[in-house]
Amino acid sequence: MDARLSFLADHTIAEPVLTPAAPLVRLKNFSRSFGANTIISGLDLEIAEGEFVALLGRSGSGKTTLLRTLAGLDDVRGQDVEVPSSRAVVFQDARLLPWKKVWRNVALGLKGLTGRVRLKAEKALHEVGLDHRLDAWPLTLSGGEAQRVALARALVREPKLLLLDEPFAALDALTRLKMHDLVLALWKAHRPAVLMVTHDVDEAIALADRVLVLDQGRIVAQECIHASRGERGEVSRGLRAKLLSVLGGEPGHESVIPFPHGAHAHEAVA
């Protein structure tokens, strides 16, 4: 419950952007292990304000552990971790409280008068296109609707950091594409930094500014995508093959890391 994160104080964020590189999230030499099992070792990660980062990795690569750390769900005492306190998570399973109506789920934990809180929740649900489901019970929602409520619940807090834990993995292909558009629209409107954990390479390429590949608790590849979204058809083919080869390659093999410079893809070594 009380993850002792050294949060960025508000004034450091509000400072004039003299150094645009000042990251919102900063992990330095971060390690995490359960007993003798090392999940993450010596990981460095920075995420800039408003940046959309996708985190790819196979099962057991440490994706979820990293996300839990950033979400403040794990204790990180004694580690060099900077995460903004203004953050919200969307989980793969929407995790709505079944005994609270949809709008109350969105309003969960918001402080203030009921009327005002309800207005906020209504606005957020309007943004995800669920005006008509305000007073529905969560268990009557479809998977896509539940995930949209979860998005509204995260965005109503106006987080600086939005964490998405495989949010569309359980949805059908068509719904997933619609959700991609929705997430991008919301991201453009609110500009939070986003870290999206996924195992879908195409999803990562379609949405992110930067794609990270995590393997055995280390970032083994990193790709920045400069082509604008919607014009990535050309880039994606090469990038897709590259990322898949990293994902399928020998874990942590050094020779895999340096990528040749592509026309649109920019290479960086973790």
100 or 199, CB closer to another protein?
100
HEC per residue, 95-113:
CCCCCCCHHHHHCCCCCCC
How far are the Cα atoms of 7, 23, 79 from residue 134, in angstroms, in the given order?
34, 37, 41
Phi and psi, residue 166, nearest 5°? 40, 55
> For residue 140, with 0-12 CB atoms within 10 Å meaning exposed, 13-18 middle and 19 or more buried, which class applies?
exposed
CB of 224 to another protein, least distance (A): 28
Tracing tokens 């309003």 back to the chain, one arrives at: 107
Binding map of another protein across residues 119-158, x = CB under 8 A, - = no contact: ------------------xxxx------------x---x-
CB of 150 to another protein, least distance (A): 9
Asked whether 251 and 218 are in contact (CB, 8 A), the reply is no
CB of 3 to another protein, least distance (A): 9
110 or 177, CB closer to another protein?
110
157 or 232, CB closer to another protein?
157
Q: Is 190 in the site for another protein (CB under 8 A)?
A: no
- Sequence-distant (≥ 6) Cβ neighbours of residue 245 within 8 angstroms: 256
Closest CA to 54 of 204, 177, 181: 204
CB of 104 to another protein, least distance (A): 9
Q: Is 18 in the site for another protein (CB under 8 A)?
A: no
Under rule CB under 8 A, which residues in 61-120 are in contact with another protein? 71-73, 88-89, 91, 93, 95, 97-100, 108-109
User: How many chain residues touch another protein (CB under 8 A)?
Assistant: 21
CB of 109 to another protein, least distance (A): 4
Half-sphere exposure of 27 (CA within 13 A, CB side): 21
User: Is residue 220 left, alpha or beta, with left meaning phi > 0 and alpha meaning psi from -120 to 50?
Assistant: alpha
Q: Is 185 in the site for another protein (CB under 8 A)?
A: no
Catalog residues that contact another protein under the rule CB under 8 A: 1, 71-73, 88-89, 91, 93, 95, 97-100, 108-109, 137-140, 153, 157
